[in-house]
Chain A
């Protein structure tokens, strides 16, 4: 069974540009969450999508946005990049079942974004 796949693995962008990151969840998982990881702040929640709807949103500026497609694949977009957006962006998927509720989260390898 394939794990969570994030593409691309590495990105270098210039300040002011925009970027789109992609996440393909484990087959059957309909919940996808995004996190930003930096050395200073650790892992911070960006947003979560379930069945194409945003269920939760973290405390990030509107430059950060996301969406989920009908096949559960998700993308996040960052517009007008700033130097401080340099980070490892991690995506997680989990299974929501009526019987067991939300099960464990599985993470991808992340996308390393460097803004210069």
Chain B
């Protein structure tokens, strides 16, 4: 059974700092891995999707990497801004594609101005 872990649960950084959020998964047979952002009381906003055959994806100041052999993904945020403050969730989908997303519990990020 796939389990997804995100450490740390909470992170506070000063504005302008580069930071890395971690996501680990127990079953390396994944179809894809997706990073989301969630603001308080809101739904999830998709940030990046990495297919199992890819090593990384980039969008603006965000870069996500995937290492299936070690069961890890990282989300790199460059030059953090107060508007980046939110909870970041990663979710892994099993390799058949016909399986649900399994979510970590998220990392709550606070960027201090």
Contact = CB atoms under 8 A, between A and B. Distances in A.
A108 B103 CA distance: 16
Contacts of B26: none
A101 B31 contact: yes
Contact of A102 (B31, B103, B104, B106): B31
Interface size range on A against B: 20 to 34
Contacts of B43: 4, 6, 90, 107-110
Given A42-B106, A107-B36, A108-B43, A102 B100 contact: no
Interface residues of B, number: 24
Given A42-B106, A55-B98, 19 more contacts: A4-B43, A33-B101, A35-B103, A42-B104, A42-B105, A43-B103, A45-B102, A48-B100, A58-B100, A88-B41, A90-B43, A101-B31, A102-B31, A102-B98, A103-B49, A105-B46, A105-B101, A107-B46, A110-B42
Interface of B: 31-32, 34, 36, 41-46, 49, 89, 91, 93, 97-106
Interface of A: 4, 6, 33, 35, 42-43, 45, 48, 55-56, 58, 88, 90, 92, 101-110, 112
